[in-house]
Structure formats: structure tokens, C-alpha cells
Structure 1
Amino acid sequence: MGTMRHFRVWRGDDTGGSLEDFQVEVNEGEVVLDVIHRLQATQTPDLAVRWNCKAGKCGSCSMEINGKPRLGCMTRMSTFGDSETVTVTPLRTFPVIRDLVTNVNFNYQKARELPAFAPPKGVEPGEYRMQQVDVERSQEFRKCIECYLCQNVCHVVRDHEENKKAFSGPRFFIRAAELDMHPLDARGDRKELAQAEQGLGYCNITKCCTEVCPEHIKITDNAIIPMKERVVDRRYDPVTWLGRKIFRRDQLDEPAVTHASSPTGAASDTGSHWHQQGPVPQEPALGADGKLTVAELYLDRPAAASPFGDDQEFPLPPEKLRYNHPKNGH
């Protein structure tokens, strides 16, 4: 026999709603999603919640639990105190459809705007060849389950609805970084596209996205910061600037930014021949000053401290929680 626990669940739709209180049985080993299902079965059969695998791999059951974006299927009830109220609300950044279900079409639209993988010319499917060392750095980003918790917590769109048109968000920054680091991707303007069309410059690396990622992807340190560094190097490096003054533009290895949907936005041939001969791992080269010039390729930098602060503990006390319904039309 389980114990009775106090739950507060947001109920409503796109016109508004409120938090409702429930006393519900909780058994040992259960997760928040189990309790939500029990509420559906015993007290409120019309409660809407999105879920699928219940194994932390589909990303469907994203919600905010006691103020922190989490997966309902991966948040154990044992993490809360016996007398603690558990408050469950929908993702704040996206429009509410009903109860705990939000409209995440924003993310699918941004996915369509991102240029796809562009294989090198003359290479047929099945002929791609690369070594594990070539993909180790970008392989981390393939763990993304598209739960959109990183998108939800990013204040650029969470607090500023007007930014959504120009900002793709951390989920798609790691996709752009993955393709930019891919040894067979022939498109050479990923960095420029991230800056010009995805809104990379809007990100001020607060690392909230890294903090909430259930797959523990180091989104900021391993994807966003390297992309920002490459954009800055390309645009503001004094040697590159001097090169523009001395040489003609067509003599510089700087691809032009073309819109992903443009008819002329075809991928350029970068001269990659990875399919013919795999690269041989080499020791990192030292610059004239004796320092590594490509150190970021060889260092797995640990994530920084929590952006929520060292003195902040989750879950938040129920008396500090509030849920602001998104405005109509947003």
C-alpha cells in the first residue's frame, strides 16, 4: 500500500487555467509520470499529458516539475520529501494546447530551416568512409532526444516571444555544430548560417540549456562556444582582416552565406576526399609560440557551475512557485 501525496497540476487550455490540488497514492519506485497516469485513471480522466516510451528516450513527457524543466518519466518521487507538494506545469516557452500538452511546432519549423547534411560530390551512398576519431567530437550531439527542455529554458525565447523568428535555440545550434564538425559534410558555411540565420549571436552562454539536458550533452561548452569562436575568428581575426585587404575575395577560403531555401544555395565542393583514404591520427601541431593551435579539438572541457546558483536547491518550495499562462496568440 502506497502513501498519499499532495499534487498540484495545472489544468487549462489556450484561453487560461489554474493549478488544481489532488491527493493521490504514490508507491515505492514510481516516477512523476506514473502518478499522472494514476490521476487520469482515478480522479481526472480528461487530464491531457504527452508521453510515449517512458524510458527517457523519446522526449515526449517534457514538463516543469516544482519549477524545473524535467522529463516526467525520469523524475523519481523519491527525490521529493514525504510531506512536500509536487507541482506540475506545462513547458513555459511554448503555447499551451491543453493541461500539460504544449504546441512545440516552433522547433519543427526551425528544423526545416536548417540545411541538411551535404555529402561530397562524386560519393554515392554506401561509399562514405571515415574513422571513429573523426566523429568522436560530434557524436555527443547525436544523443539528443528532442525533449526541447533546452529550448524551453533558454531565456532568449522564454522571456522574449519576439525573438522566436530570428532564433533557433540550443537544440539546433548543436545540430549545426554537428554538421560543421562532420568530416564528410561538404557545406562550408555552417558557421556563417548559424550567425546570420539561426541567431547564434543572441546566445549569451548562461548554460541553462546544459543544466537541464537529460542526456547530459555539454551543449554550451562543446557546441555553442566553439561555433561562436569560429564565427569570431572568421569575421574579426586580424590576420584574416589583413588578408581581405591584400587578396581578392575569391582567393580567400571564406564561403558566402546563402539562404538554406535559396535556389542558388547549393553546397560548395570543399575538395574533401575522405571516402578515398581515411585520415591518419596525428599529434597536435604547435604554433610558433609553442602552444596548441587546435587545443579545443583535443580537450573535453567540463561544464561550468550550475547557472541556477550553488545556493539554489531543486525542487523549489511550493510557496515560491507560480505559473504565468502564455498570452493569447503567443
Structure 2
Amino acid sequence: MSYTAHFRVWRGDDKSGELRDFDVEVNEGEVVLDIIHRLQATQASDLAVRWNCKAGKCGSCSAEVNGRPRLMCMTRMSVFDESETITVAPMRAFPVVRDLVTDVSFNYTKAREIPSFAPPAGVAPGEYRMMQEDVGRSQEFRKCIECFLCQNTCHVVRDHEENKPVFAGPRFLMRIAELDMHPLDAAEERGLDRKRSAQEEHGLGYCNITKCCTEVCPEHIKITDNALIPLKERAADRKYDPLVWLGNKIRRREG
């Protein structure tokens, strides 16, 4: 069963652009990305859109559908009323390249700033052993497909361009949290305090845990509850708790 839907799609580049109206055929079971492809095929052959797997696993087709950051390939047309106007626009937090394609290089810059896993001394990669509970805790965060919807919806990045140099954003603070709770990460033995680094170098204090990043995550990762809040608590303990401070002093003297 098919019907005609009214779409408003953003067309333009880094200099100017506007929302343009299109009437496009919709068939049963289709997603927004299907309609964008049909629009390319029938009315706007030069429409730029980034996509790859069409299975919700590559993170390429991120956009804002009716103002909400979503993967177009995972947004079914059945969630909208047939009479509803559907607006599709590029992610607002990042510079537009053309049409629905944005420049997300900010995120790769931040990824390179995060120190990688520090393997324990004297243990070969094939000899790593962890409790299953610790594996499961880290595995949740490794489901991330790097669609950058969490980065896009975070108002610290989205609404304040001046914060970008000093704020890693939820995706990469989550990466720090994962490494900090990893039982085999030997960063501290090598002089790297991940909690201090998160606070002082990657802007953890800018996050005010509104959970908007969690709400838009297509992999349903509990970014705020399971990564950011625990990391904030550990960072606060390390910096302000007098008992933790004293314990660290004693351990350093014994060392």
C-alpha cells in the first residue's frame, strides 16, 4: 500500500541553503533513507547524502528528522502520520559540506586526542584474563557505531562553538570511562591519570548529564548513567575526597 508524503529537505552548501518541498511516493515498510534515495532517483539527482550499510551499523546516514537526530535507515516511515510534513536536515552541530552531508572531522580529531589502552607490563595480548562482569561492562560501550548523534545533540557542542577545542563530547568521554574502568589498563603505572585527564584536558566538567546523548543513541547505550556519571564520581573522588587524597599520599610514600 503506497501513499504520497510531503518532505522538506535541506538543500545547500557551507555558504547558503534552504528547505525545499518535495512530494514523494512512500511504500509499506520503507524507512526515511528509502525516500531520500527515491527523491534522488526521481526529482533531485544531485542531492548529497552519506550512507553505506542501510542496516543501522555504519553510522553514516545521521541526520535530523523533524528536528530529532536520527539514523535515516532506522527511522521507519510508519512512525509518521501520512498527512505529516517530514523535515530532513543535516546534523546541526557540524559544518555543512552539501545538502545532508556534514563535516564530522571534529570527532576524528577528538578521537586522536584520547590516549589508547595501555597494556599491562609482562602480559602478552593472548594472555589477558578478565572477569566476565568486566567484559560486559566494557562491551556495552564498544557497541558504539560512531554515528555521532550523541555529539550532535549535546548542547555543549551544538550550541557553543567555542567549547569544541576543550570538550571531547559524550562519545569520547565514554571512551575514557571505558578505559578508566578496564581492569587491565595500566595507564596509571605509566603516569597517566585518566580521571584527571578527563576533567582537565577533555572537558568532563562541561557535561551536565541531561541524558540527551543517551536518548538519541541508536545502539541504546546508557552513555550518561553507565559512563559519564560514574566517571564524574570517580574524578570528584580523586580530586576532592580527603580520604582518597590521604590514601593516594600514603601509597605514593610506600612506593
Q: Counterpart in 1 of 2:252?
A: 250
Q: Which has the higher contact order (CA 8 A, sep 6+)?
A: 1
Aligned: 1:194 with 2:198: yes
Structure 2 residue identity aligned to 1:210: T
Q: Counterpart in 2 of 1:219?
A: 223
CA distance in 1, matches of 2:30, 2:63: 17
1:232 is matched with which residue: 208, 230, 236? 236
Structure 2 residue identity aligned to 1:114: I
| Structure 1 position 124, deviation (Å) | 1.8
Structure 2 unaligned residues grouped into runs of 5+: none
If the length of structure 2 is used for normalisation, what is the TM-score?
0.95
Q: Counterpart in 2 of 1:40?
A: 40
| Structure 1 position 196, deviation (Å) | 1.1
CA distance in 1, matches of 2:37, 2:68: 20
Find the residue that maps to 1:7 and give its secondary structure.
Answer: strand
> Which stretch of the first structure deviates more once superposed, 132-141 or 107-116?
132-141
**Larger radius of gyration between Structure 1 and Structure 2:** 1
| Structure 1 position 203, deviation (Å) | 0.3
Structure 2 residue identity aligned to 1:181: M
CA contact (8 A) 1:138 1:177 kept: no
Structure 1 residue identity aligned to 2:147: C
CA distance in 1, matches of 2:218, 2:250: 48
> Which stretch of the first structure deviates more once superposed, 186-195 or 25-34?
186-195
CA distance in 2, matches of 1:41, 1:47: 9
CA distance in 2, matches of 1:42, 1:251: 73
| Structure 1 position 200, deviation (Å) | 0.3
Q: Deviations over 1:129-150 (max 9, x none)?
A: 2231222222110110000000
Q: Counterpart in 1 of 2:51?
A: 51
CA contact (8 A) 1:7 1:21 kept: yes
Q: Write 1 or 2 for the structure with the bigger share of helix.
A: 2
Q: Deviations over 1:100-125 (max 9, x none)?
A: 00000000000000000110011222
CA distance in 2, matches of 1:146, 1:248: 41
CA contact (8 A) 1:2 1:25 kept: yes
CA contact (8 A) 1:63 1:70 kept: yes
Structure 2 residue identity aligned to 1:218: K
| Structure 1 moving runs of 4+ over 6 Å | none
Q: Counterpart in 2 of 1:116?
A: 116
Find the residue that maps to 1:111 and give its secondary structure.
Answer: helix
Q: Counterpart in 2 of 1:269?
A: none
Q: 1:109 to 1:173 in 2, by over 3 A?
A: same
Q: 1:243 to 1:131 in 2, by over 3 A?
A: closer
Q: Deviations over 1:149-187 (max 9, x none)?
A: 000000001010000000000000111111111121111
Find the residue that maps to 1:151 and give its secondary structure.
Answer: helix
Q: 1:127 to 1:248 in 2, by over 3 A?
A: closer
Q: Counterpart in 2 of 1:261?
A: none
Q: 1:252 to 1:226 in 2, by over 3 A?
A: farther
Q: Percent identity?
A: 75
Structure 2 residue identity aligned to 1:221: D
If the length of structure 1 is used for normalisation, what is the TM-score?
0.74
Find the residue that maps to 2:125 and give its secondary structure.
Answer: coil
Q: Counterpart in 2 of 1:293?
A: none
Q: Counterpart in 2 of 1:303?
A: none
Find the residue that maps to 1:126 and give its secondary structure.
Answer: helix
CA contact (8 A) 1:176 1:190 kept: yes
CA distance in 2, matches of 1:223, 1:29: 35
Q: Counterpart in 1 of 2:21?
A: 21
| Structure 1 position 239, deviation (Å) | 1.6
| Structure 1 position 14, deviation (Å) | 0.3
Structure 2 residue identity aligned to 1:129: R
Structure 2 residue identity aligned to 1:228: K
Q: Counterpart in 2 of 1:324?
A: none
Structure 2 residue identity aligned to 1:225: I
CA distance in 1, matches of 2:146, 2:16: 27
Q: 1:252 to 1:81 in 2, by over 3 A?
A: farther
CA distance in 1, matches of 2:86, 2:150: 22
Q: Deviations over 1:223-258 (max 9, x none)?
A: 0000000011111112234557xx5783289xxxxx
CA distance in 1, matches of 2:246, 2:127: 40
| Structure 1 position 213, deviation (Å) | 0.5
